Amino acid sequence: MELSRRDFLKASAAAAAFAAAGAPLMLTGEVDAAEAGIKWGKAPCRFCGTGCGVLVGVKDNKIVATKGDPAAPVNRGLNCIKGYFLSKILYGKDRLTKPLIRKGNKMVEASWDEAMTLIAGKFKESIDKYGPDSVAIYGSGQWTVFEGYAASKLFKGGIGTNNIEPNARLCMASAVTGFMTTFASDEPMGCYDDLDLGDTYFLWGANMAECHPVLFSRLIDNRLKNPKVKIIDFGTRHTRTSQMADKYIKFNPQTDLALLNAIAHVIVKEKLYDETFIKNHVVFKKGKTNIGYGLEDKFKFTDDPKPMTFDEYKEFLKEYTPEYVAKLSGVPAATIVEMAHLYADKSRKVNSLWTMGFNQHTRGTWVNNLAYNVHLLTGKICKPGENPMSLTGQPSACGTAREVGTFTHRLPADMVVTNPDHRAKAEKIWGIPAGKVPAKPTYNATEMFRALDRGDIKVVWTQVTNPFQSLPNLNRYRKGARKGDGRFVIVSDMYPTKSTEVADVILPSASWVEKEGVFGNAERRTQQWFKQVDPPGEARNDLWQTIELAKRLGHGNLFPYKYVEKEIWEEYRKFNEGEGKDLAPYEAYTKARGLRWPVINGKETLYRYAEGYDPYVKAGEGIKFYKNKKDGGKAVIWARPYEPAPEVPDKAYPFWLCTGRVLEHWHTGTMTGRVPELKRAYPAAVCEMNPEDAKKLGIKHLQKVKISSRRGTIILPVDLNGRGKAEKGNVFVAFFDENKLINELCIDAYCPISGEPDYKKCAVKVEKA
Amino acid sequence: MPQTGVTRRRFLKDGVLMPLALALAGGSISALFLRSADARGFYLRPPGAVEEGRFLGACIKCGKCAQACPYNSIRMAGADAGIGIGTPHIIARQEPCRLCPDIPCAKVCPSGALDAKLENVEKIRMGTAVIVDRENCLSLRGLRCEVCYRQCPLIDKAITIEARHNPRTGVHSIMEPVVHRDKCVGCGICENACVRDKPVIVVMKSPPLQKDYYEF
């Protein structure tokens, strides 16, 4: 560890010299004076899934500065405005520093021993009385790999319940099921290099300008260099991304399904597809239709895939004529045809990029499948500069939630609990008796909190997330948590949040560089950092907290580690070896600015499934979707129809409500809200509304309005000409503001395949307040 | 994007930035923008204020505009304002003008110091926002900030983004916020929102249009 630290510092010095040479704005004297006595270490940014590298400057056990890491390939020394203020997120005045236990209506300071004894007692009592499925842990795409791994091992391998879910269920689950159903392996084939190498970019439901700021500036630079570059933004709201795109195509919410089928329709009808590619790399399938919306408690769905021929698929596409879909979507038929030609243009390197518009969708899995369809039809996939790419929103949604598999149904490395061989492999690596890991998945995130509301789950522990602000149909779940009758909520966090409000025990957590960690970003890049400062007061690592519970429940034997992080890593790697998801030894990550898996013999992989890049693809194979063994190494084109949203605007609730982010804040604002500069830059949520709609209702800019759905009501000022411009019949509200819980209005309908709720569509009414 | 381009920027540069740069060289930096708004050599008056000389003559210091402001943006000047004592002004960094669509402050002005007939907020001319400290502007350093742009109530009109290649990284673009003087109303929301300890974008007195010896 000592050695690697020294190597790292050497590398940093070299990188800093490189940066100084290229940075005329920095005056060397200034830097020297400011940097006296500061020790620099590396870390990935704490915020989104881009995974920018930063250098963390520490003096007297406090972070005094950060800077974009010039040696980090993701961002080459740049950050967005949130990344600029990283040094402040740990130092909010109301940082939690002591465990707190609820005594009546008061939260009373307690020792760790008292708190953990109480928690372990509640777990034991509940497990004894109601069985292991009455306790649960709800974690996060901000869990480090170690934290997620330890939680999964304890719950699945120790306690013997699949009651583990990450908040990534609310943001990435549809991307996962999209990848799994099309390629039988999670995570993208391409990487961020595609942003530099392609010339045609279709953005779908992605406000990259605000939500992936540094990647967006890379995309724009590509266009500055190459006049051929075109950026097409498909969306339901005119955003800062739309403003900078070459073309903004607005469509009616939910009709992305029909649009992608119409694009495929044109490609097939005009024979613009790549016949050889289809013959060699593609099979066709259809699944169930009319699959429901997960609105009822204990909703269950199992798809029933059936093979079909290319001709049958062509038949399926027949109804999606540009004219029919134009009526449905509001996009002119000629535009649909033009876009199909652009996708299929053989002289163009085409990429699709998407985020929550696709994933938070009651047909999220389908719409992911449909995007892949177009790339598979045209053979524009697995090549430098030509790939579909699902961008992620959390720093380790990929690295932890998806790769470690901290979902109820998952195990590490694409494995699932329903497969006996997968369970056996996990049991062997974990050194636990055969049959210990339960075969049946229990609850997705929404269902987990429904179970808490019903009382089927009694004890729930949340770590690194804020579900009591971020769940849809929030009123039900906030009330559910406080129903008593044996329910017990434990919240580990660094600050008081909307979730600590409903907690019975609050545990103060270490954050970011107050602990050692590994995150994995959206391009399969695994990034490690060391602990660089001590957490304040008695705050402790979530990893320590989980292992402490394990010890008290008699599962301490699962965690026999000395150097916990490194040993967990080496154990975790065993799951990935030989599975196309190989990871390097821990040492390698301590030095590198991240490595993109599979990493074999120290070499990272830029393009999965592609000969010459992916060592799993043999010479002469070209492209091989080798993870999809049951379809002979081919990818699947899915016939997925258009189906409407569960709740659409009507007379009583005439507007669509869409929620999302702004650049200045992240998620529920618990960190960015503690940075005074960011708070001042964007203090409170507003309701974006179309000026024509406002005029009809007699509502003026900045006037307060009451927005209501069937589930909740909030009052907000209206913004008629802000950064986002609502289309007619739509309103938009950001979800960061803890004083304006917009998620109370959202519907808790979810994609039956992915279990991911739709935060982008529900029906609301708007009245003068 | 609106048709703006070089000429207007050139104008801003020469008309505003050059004098500023000269002032900086002369050591009067604090007098220009590092103290409170009035230290800049002008008071940011409420919307619809007539020319400063006439304003001082007309304003009866009744405070009705300040009472009408729903955001408490308008305050009455103290003794340090000299002849302007008791006149209304706005300190944007503390609370800028939020550009209420019905302009309630001007509507209630009984003296004509504020134009009560002003209807369209886009016609307001309180001053002009200027990036006065390019070295400390995070957007100009290549960071994705542009808070001033996104919070501008006349986004894409008064402030636009002009992207250019960032040679420092080789693969990113610098997204430069560019203020358009003919559209900027001088509300000060950008100055208020700027994330730097000392705002790098501030509202200045609009320089007067100069006589041209050249046809643009």
A78 reaches B (C-beta below 8 A): yes
Q: Residue B83's pLDDT is what?
A: 85
pLDDT for the residue B211: 87
Answer yes or no: is A602 within a domain.
no
Q: Residue A124 in contact with residue A149, Cβ under 8 Å?
A: no
Of B142, B155, B195, Cβ closest to residue A81: B195
Both B9 and B71 in one domain: the answer is no
> Are A721 and B155 an interchain contact pair (Cβ–Cβ within 8 Å)?
yes
Domain identity same for B80 and B146: no
In a domain, B216, yes or no: no
* Residue A711 and residue A677 share a domain: yes
Which residue, among A78, A85, A238, would best test binding to B if mutated, counting the most B CBs under 10 Å from its CB?
A: A78
**pLDDT in the model for residue B40:** 67
Q: Which of B150, B157, B183, B198 has the highest number of chain A CBs within 10 A, making it the mutation to test binding with A?
A: B150
For A305, how many CA atoms within 13 A lie in the half-sphere containing its CB? 15
- Does residue A129 lie within any of the structural domains? yes
Q: List residues of A with catalytic annotation.
A: 82, 171-172, 356, 393-394
Residues A204-260: tens digit of each pLDDT = 999 999 999 999 999 999 999 999 999 999 999 999 999 999 999 999 999 999 999
**Inter-chain residue contact A217 with B100, CB threshold 8 Å:** no
Closest by alpha carbon to A135, among A598, A545, A528, A488?
A: A488
Residue A725 structure tokens? 């411009």
Dist. CA A648–CA A657, nearest whole Å: 10
Residue where a domain stops, chosen among A88, A122, A138: A88
Residues B114 and B102 in one domain: yes
Residue A489: beta bridge partners?
A460
CATH number at residue A71: 3.30.200.210
Domain range for B202 is 1-34+127-207
Q: What angle do CA A748, A399, A447 make, to 5 degrees?
A: 20
Does A661 share its domain with A538?
Answer: no
* Residue B144 covered by a domain: yes
For chain A, percent helix, then strand, then coil, each to nearest 5?
Answer: 35, 20, 45
- Closest alpha carbon within chain B to A678: B195
Å between B29 CA and nearest CA of chain A: 19
pLDDT tens for the 216 residues of chain B, in order: 344 333 444 444 444 444 444 444 444 433 333 334 455 678 999 999 999 999 999 999 999 999 999 999 999 999 888 888 999 999 999 999 999 999 999 999 999 999 999 999 999 999 999 999 999 999 999 999 999 999 999 999 999 999 999 999 999 999 999 999 999 999 999 999 999 999 999 999 988 878 889 987
Q: Residue B63's domain is classified under what CATH number?
A: 3.30.70
Are both A163 and A191 inside the same structural domain? no
- Check if A88 contacts B (Cβ < 8 Å): no
A246, part of any domain: yes
CB contact under 8 Å between B144 and A216, yes or no, is yes
User: A750 near A477, Cβ under 8 Å?
Assistant: no
CB–CB contact B193 A22 (8 Å): no
Our count of domains for chain B comes to: 2
What is the Cα–Cα distance from A252 to A328, expressed in whole angstroms?
Answer: 7
A469 located within any domain: no
Give the strand order in the sheet containing A39-44.
Answer: A39-44, A53-59, A62-68
**Of B107, B123, B139, which marks where a domain is finished?**
B123
Distance CA B194, CA A332 (A): 41
Please write the tens of the pLDDT for every residue from A466-480.
999 999 999 999 999
| B215 within domain boundaries | no
What is the residue whose two structure tokens read 């999809």? A628
Give me the residue label for tokens 């049991």. Answer: A427
Residues B30, B49 within the same domain: no
Q: Are B154 and B12 in contact (CB under 8 A)?
A: no
Q: What is the pLDDT of residue B209?
A: 79
Please state the rounded mean pLDDT for residues A535-555: 98
Helix (H, G, I), strand (E, B) or coil at A459: strand
- Kindly state whether residues B180 and B194 are assigned to the same domain: yes
pLDDT recorded at residue B216? 77
Contacts of B174 in chain A (CB under 8 A): 217
The Cα A422–Cα A413 span in angstroms is: 10
On whether both A327 and A415 belong to a single domain, the answer is no
Judgement on whether residues A204 and A336 belong to the same structural domain of the protein = yes
Residue B82 has a pLDDT of 85
Residues of B at the A interface (Cβ-Cβ below 8 Å)? 98-102, 135, 138, 140-147, 150-151, 153-156, 161, 163-175, 192-196
- Is the CB of B165 less than 8 angstroms away from the CB of A19? no
Mark whether A121 and A186 lie in a shared domain.
no
Residues A313 and A341 in one domain: yes
Do A374 and A329 lie in one domain? The reply is: yes
Write out chain A residues lying below 8 Å of B135, CB-based.
Answer: 25
Q: Name the minimum distance, in Å, from the CA of B53 to any CA of chain A.
A: 32
Residue A650 lies in a domain: no
The reply to whether B51 and B29 lie within a common domain is no
3-state secondary structure of A246: coil
Q: Inspect the interface and report whether the beta carbons of A76 and B195 lie closer than 8 Å.
A: no
Smallest CA–CA separation between B170 and chain A, in Å?
9
Contact A244 B169 (CB under 8 A): no
A113 and A48 in a common domain: no
CB A490 within 8 A of CB A460: yes
- On whether residue B107 sits in a domain, the answer given is yes
Residue B213 within a domain: no
End of a domain among B73, B105, B123?
B123
Alpha carbon of B134: minimum distance to chain A alpha carbons (Å)? 10
Instruction: Compute the distance between CA of residue A449 and CA of residue A136 in angstroms, rounded to an integer.
Output: 10
Q: Which of A22, A221, A243 sits opposite B171 (nearest CB)?
A: A221
A12 pLDDT more than 60: no
Q: Is A77–B169 a contact, with Cβ atoms under 8 angstroms apart?
A: yes
Q: Examine the domain organization and report whether A341 and A254 are in the same domain.
A: yes
Tell me which of A508-522, A572-586, B78-92, B182-196 is least confident: B78-92
**Residue A766 resides in a domain:** no
* Preceding omega of A598 cis (within 30 degrees of 0): yes
pLDDT for the residue numbered B19: 44
Residue in B with minimal Cα distance to A662: B150
Question: Taking phi first (over 0 means left), then psi (-120 to 50 degrees means alpha), and beta for anything else, what does residue B112 get?
Answer: left
Last residue of one domain, picked from the residues A560, A580, A600: A580
Q: What average pLDDT does this structure show over A486-515? A: 98
Domain limit, last residue, from B123, B152, B186: B123
B134 and B30 belong to one structural domain: yes
Non-local (6+) Cβ contacts of A21 within 8 A are none
Q: What's the CATH code of the domain at A737?
A: 2.40.40.20
Please answer yes or no on whether B172 and A214 come within 8 Å at the CB atom: yes
- Residue A313 CA to residue A191 CA, distance in Å, equals 30
In tens, the pLDDT along A99-152 reads 999 999 999 999 999 999 999 999 999 999 999 999 999 999 999 999 999 999
> Number of structural domains, chain A?
4
A201 and A120 assigned to the same domain: no
- Asked if the Cβ–Cβ distance from B172 to A722 is below 8 Å, we say no
Q: What is the pLDDT of residue A360?
A: 98
Integer Cα distance of A410 and A2 in angstroms: 36
Q: What is the pTM for the complete model shown? A: 0.92
CB-neighbour burial class of residue A429 (10 A; exposed 0-12, middle 13-18, buried 19+) = middle
Task: Tell whether B148 and B179 lie within a shared domain.
Answer: yes
Nearest residue of A to residue B136, measured between CA atoms: A25
Same domain for B147 and B187, yes or no, is yes
Set of chain A residues whose Cβ sits within 8 Å of the Cβ of B164: 224
| Cβ pairs bridging A and B (under 8 Å) | 110
Q: Which of A197, A240, A242 to mutate to test the interface with B (most CBs of B within 10 A)?
A: A240
B147 to A681: CB separation less than 8 angstroms, yes or no:
yes
The answer to whether residue A20 scores a pLDDT higher than 80 is no
User: B190 with B159: CB under 8 angstroms?
Assistant: yes
Flag whether the ipTM exceeds 0.85: yes
CA-wise closest residue to A359 among A682, A597, A49? A49
> Does the pLDDT at position A565 exceed 90?
yes
Same domain, B106 and B158: no
What is the extent of the structural domain holding A167?
100-171+397-464+491-580
Chain B residues whose beta carbon lies within 8 Å of the beta carbon of residue A76: 168-172
Nearest by CB: B147 against A217, A664, A702:
A664
Contacts of A564 (CB under 8 A, 6+ apart): A146, A543, A547
Please indicate, yes or no, whether residues A443 and A368 belong to a single structural domain of this protein: no
Q: Which two tokens stand for residue A162?
A: 């699949």
| Mean predicted lDDT score pLDDT of chain A | 95
Burial of B24 (0-12, 13-18, 19+ CB in 10 A): middle
What per-residue confidence (pLDDT) applies to A387? 98
Residues B95 and B51 in one domain: yes
In a domain, A605, yes or no: no
**What is the model's pLDDT at position A552?**
98
- Name the pLDDT band for A354 (thresholds 50, 70, 90): very high
Q: Is residue A712 part of a domain?
A: yes
pLDDT score, position B22: 43
Same domain, B109 and B167: no
Instruction: Tell me which residue in B164, B168, B195 faces A23 most closely, judged by beta carbons.
Output: B168
Instruction: Give me the residue from A25, A240, A680 closest to B141, CB to CB.
Output: A25
**Any CB–CB contact under 8 A between A18 and chain B?**
no
Residue type at B155 in one-letter notation: I
